[in-house]
A and B are shown apart, each in its own frame.
Chain A
């Protein structure tokens, strides 16, 4: 082998190394990130799992108490594994050309967050996450799944809708929702809170204008007539009495011994004055104004102690 051939082969090798993500995608998936204690169990062998490793069907990924891993599958799907997890690629087939898609993984413990890839989009029914108590089917694209110490499975949706099924049936979980799988025999239970808008409040019960009295009559509040405006100071016309017309008195007849009285001076005649014209001006407000023509059927009642004011004093008479 010449040196040129060696260089060519080496260059090819390095090119392959540089392009390892592409070659790696020939497997089911590729580990794109690990942190802490992460192991791969393949058959009977157990080895440390590192960034860049390939995963195939049947591989089991185990994360320790601080371990984390992220796996990118060939269909573009992503799975992030959290501490203390056991994750198995049960069956994987990217049938982009053949039409046979399978994405079946098993989470025995721990937690995972996933984004579906093309398999989930092409054939949602083929995407399944199997847990000890539930099978999570996917109709959406992002979810979080965690198994607690008691084996209960909590599934929350992060984008679109996923479907969580037990033997009792399936429920849909959309973004922001979460369900708890208590057992395989029960339907998953929604766990997110449901905030409610309270029913409208009633009008304030102490509205002054709505209070009624013990007779059941509405009085709102007691209303007293406001004092009328002060009258215009106009001097009242003097009383005019038409003097009786002078009655001519016939002088007594003359007698011998009768001396006729000296004639008296008759009073000057006065002109009778017409009666004063009728006025429409209001009478002085010296009396309470008349009640309304429709008597308020509701008498006064304030629930609260409200005192009746005495009527205002009569205005002074201006002469």
Chain B
């Protein structure tokens, strides 16, 4: 009886009502999505997000709506809302690669590396590389692996490259110098002391790591080795550098203090030219996951075993600010100052006071490509009149670097880079220019 009543009287009415009410509803819903999509395209993402937000409780689970919601929320900077919407899209179609990429972009925007690393490798390959997006390996370094999760970790790399150096010996380009004695003929440099242009091969390897002792204390360390071999007559400028550091790190809230001992060895053409040892203190204040201040104080004993008059104590104090933008762009700026104090009496002209400025950044061009640039400027004023040239040496050194990072596969990186150095010195013998172009192949592990 009731069934008949429902089937004959109510159900058709309900169906008719549903059709009558539902069709306009669907049409309206589509209109909402279209309107929101249009708003996003017009750059009015916030309005689009508000429009869709009002319908989310009812339409969540509709892939068309969710995709539009994800796009609008992401464009409006509502990244967590975008993640939720895009996860709904993927719940309906787990293999949807475009949705996976879109989700990955939103996860990167909130700094959720674990979420990004959980995506399929082929999707990660279409995103900004996790490492490149969060560290500037050309400029910045970290003791921790991106996924280390607060545990002890070790990471390393091996790098091979070729390049061309326009001035392998950092010699003045000019071959003739004005004599300091008026009326006397100019001086000429020996050909061997003039700028030597040559191609080279380079090999580098490095290890960095952190051993966590407890929530506050950890041991950090670095070991780096690099060697460069020039071709032709410039092989006398082959050099090898070894650097190491070992220290203790202490963390509290947003602060981290690292005090480490440093050592360095530099050999030129197989002979030891310089060794260094000292202490580096660093204080890092993390404003949030995307911004931080870093300050340092470095005191180094710089020794030249065959040129002891050049031995100095180098003390440098500096600070820097680095910023990671939500789209993967990174930038930093820093200033520093200090002095190099000669150890020997009467060697003041060899010591100097210095201060400098550093700027740099990295921008993602495409999922596997990023471009980076840096500009450094340093001023050095030496401690006395040079006894030969009878002037006080002052250097103004500018260095500009520009390059690309190509990540053909996870863990691999190809970096073509151009670097220009100009040291404008009041001493003609230390006034030089240098251009270096290199291509490096890097494997990280």
Residues of A within 8 A of B (CB): 7, 10-11, 14, 18, 21, 30, 32-33, 35-36, 51, 68, 70, 72, 78, 80, 113, 115, 142, 144, 146, 154, 156-159, 161, 171-172, 174-180, 182, 186-200, 202-214, 216-218, 220-228, 289-290, 292-294, 296-298, 302-309
B189 touches A70 (CB 8 A): no
Q: Is there contact, CB below 8 Å, between B268 and A205? A: yes
- A-side contacts of B84, CB under 8 Å: 70, 78, 80, 113
> How many angstroms from the CA of A270 to the CA of B136 in the assembled complex?
94
In the complex, the chain A residue whose C-beta lies closest to that of B25 is: A18
- Hey, which chain B residues are within 8 Å of A194, CB to CB? 142-144, 256, 284, 286, 292
Instruction: Determine the chain B residues whose CB is within 8 A of the CB of A157 once the complex forms.
Output: 288-289
Q: How far apart sit A21 and B54, CA to CA, in the bound complex (Å)?
A: 11
Q: What B residues does A304 contact at CB under 8 A?
A: 169, 192, 236-237, 268-269
Question: Could you say which of A171, A218, A306 has the most chain B C-beta atoms within 10 Å of its C-beta?
Answer: A218
Which residue of chain A lies nearest to B378 when distances are taken between CB atoms in the complex? A200
Instruction: Map CB proximity to A onto B276-288 as digits: 1 under 8 Å, 0 otherwise.
Output: 1000101010111
A7 contact set on B, CB distance < 8 A: 13
Name 19 A/B residue pairs within 8 A (Cβ), A-sorted. Answer: A10-B17, A32-B60, A158-B80, A186-B214, A187-B216, A193-B143, A195-B142, A196-B140, A196-B284, A198-B140, A200-B378, A208-B170, A208-B171, A210-B350, A221-B429, A292-B180, A292-B181, A304-B237, A304-B268
Residue picked from A80, A175, A177, A306, most chain B C-beta under 10 Å: A175
User: B349's closest neighbor in chain A, by CB?
Assistant: A218
In whole Å, how far is A29's beta carbon from the nearest beta carbon of chain B? 10
Please give the distance in Å from B27's CB to the nearest CB on chain A.
15
> Which among A188, A203, A221 is the interface contact of B190 at CB below 8 angstroms?
A221
- When the two chains form their complex, are residues A212 and B309 in contact, meaning their CB atoms are under 8 A apart? yes
Cβ of B139: which chain A residues have Cβ within 8 Å of it? 197-198
B21 touches A206 (CB 8 A): no
Segment from B32-40, B146-154, B363-371, B409-417 that makes contact with A: B146-154
Knowing A182-B215, A226-B185, the reply to whether A197 touches B332 (Cβ < 8 A) is: yes
Whether the Cβ atoms of A193 and B388 lie closer than 8 Å is: no
Q: Which residues of A contact B425 (CB under 8 A)?
A: 209
Prevailing SS type, chain B contact patch: mixed
Judge if B2 is at the interface, Cβ distance under 8 Å: no
Q: With an 8 A cutoff between CB atoms, is B156 at the interface?
A: no
Residue B199 at the A interface, CB < 8 A? no
Q: Which residues of A contact B56 (CB under 8 A)?
A: 32, 72
CB within 8 Å for A80 and B87 given contacts A175-B290, A197-B320 = yes
A306 touches B192 (CB 8 A): yes
Residues of chain B touching chain A, judged by Cβ–Cβ distance below 8 Å, are 10, 13-14, 17, 21, 56-58, 60-61, 79-81, 83-84, 87-88, 91-92, 110-115, 134-136, 139-146, 148-150, 169-172, 176-177, 179-181, 184-190, 192-193, 212, 214-216, 236-237, 239, 251, 253-254, 256, 266, 268-269, 271, 273-274, 276, 280, 282, 284, 286-290, 292, 294, 296, 298, 302, 304, 306-310, 314, 316, 318, 320, 322, 324, 332, 334, 336, 344, 350, 356, 358, 376, 378, 380, 387-388, 390, 395, 397, 425, 427, 429-430, 432
Complex-state Cα separation, A220 to B427, whole angstroms: 11
Q: Identify the closest chain A residue to B111 (Cβ).
A: A176
Q: How far is the CA of A121 from the CA of B388 in the complex (A)?
A: 72
Would you call B140 and A195 a contact (CB within 8 A)? yes
**Complex: A303 Cα to B169 Cα, angstroms:** 11
**Chain B neighbourhood of A190, CB < 8 A:** 150, 251, 286
Q: A190-B150, A198-B141, A306-B192 in contact; A158/B184 too (CB < 8 A)?
A: no
Residues of A near B146 (CB, < 8 A) are: 193
- Can you add 13 more A-B contacts, CB < 8 Å, to A10-B17, A72-B56, A182-B215? A142-B79, A180-B149, A189-B251, A195-B142, A197-B320, A198-B141, A199-B280, A200-B378, A221-B193, A294-B390, A296-B387, A303-B268, A308-B190
Distance of A181 from chain B, by nearest CB (Å): 10
Measured between alpha carbons, how far is A208 from B173 in the docked complex, in Å? Answer: 11
Centre residue among A11, A14, A142, A207 by max chain B CB count within 10 A? A207
Question: Which residues on A sit within 8 Å (CB–CB) of B145?
Answer: 193
Whether A293 and B288, one on each chain, are in contact in the complex, defined by CB atoms closer than 8 angstroms, is no
Given contacts A177-B111, A208-B429, A306-B192, contact A225 B21 (CB under 8 A): no
Q: Which residue from chain B places its CB closest to the CB of A221 in the assembled complex?
A: B193
A191, B148: Cβ atoms under 8 Å?
Answer: yes
| Residues A196 and B88 in contact, CB atoms below 8 Å apart | no
Contact B308 A159 (CB under 8 A): no
- What separation, in Å, do the CA atoms of A190 and B387 have in the docked complex? 55
Q: Inside 8 A of B307's CB, which chain A residues have their CB?
A: 211-213, 216, 303
Q: Report A91 CB to chain B, min CB distance, Å.
A: 23
- Knowing A14-B21, A175-B110 touch, does A223 contact B322 (C-beta < 8 A)? no
Please pick, from B169, B184, B308, the residue contacting A292 in the complex, using a CB distance under 8 A. Answer: B184
C-alpha gap A197/B380 in the complex (Å): 21
- Alpha-carbon distance A146/B188, docked complex (angstroms): 71
List A contacts of B268 (CB < 8 A): 205-206, 303-304
Do residues A302 and B193 form an inter-chain contact, with CB atoms below 8 A? yes
Nearest A-chain residue to B276, judged by Cβ: A202
A11 / chain B contacts, CB cutoff of 8 Å: 17
CB of A216 within 8 A of CB of B112, answer no
Min Cβ gap B292→A in Å is: 7
Min CB–CB distance A4 → chain B (angstroms): 13
User: Which chain A residues lie closer than 8 Å to B271 at the CB level?
Assistant: 303
B150 near A226 (CB under 8 angstroms)?
no
**Nearest chain-B residue to A146 (Cβ)?**
B114
B168 closest partner in A (C-beta) = A206
B10–A293 touching, CB < 8 Å: no
Complex partner residue of A216 from B92, B296, B344, CB under 8 angstroms: B344
The 10 closest A-B pairs by CB, nearest first: A176-B289, A221-B193, A176-B111, A174-B288, A209-B429, A35-B91, A191-B150, A195-B140, A209-B430, A158-B110
On whether A21 and B388 interact (CB within 8 A), knowing A209-B429, A306-B192, the answer reads: no
B232 to chain A, nearest CB (A): 15
Q: How far is the CA of A221 from the CA of B148 in the complex (A)?
A: 51
Tell me the minimal C-beta distance from B35 to chain A in angstroms.
20
A51: nearest chain-B partner, CB-CB: B61
Q: Give Cα A220–Cα B349 distance, bound, in whole angstroms.
A: 13
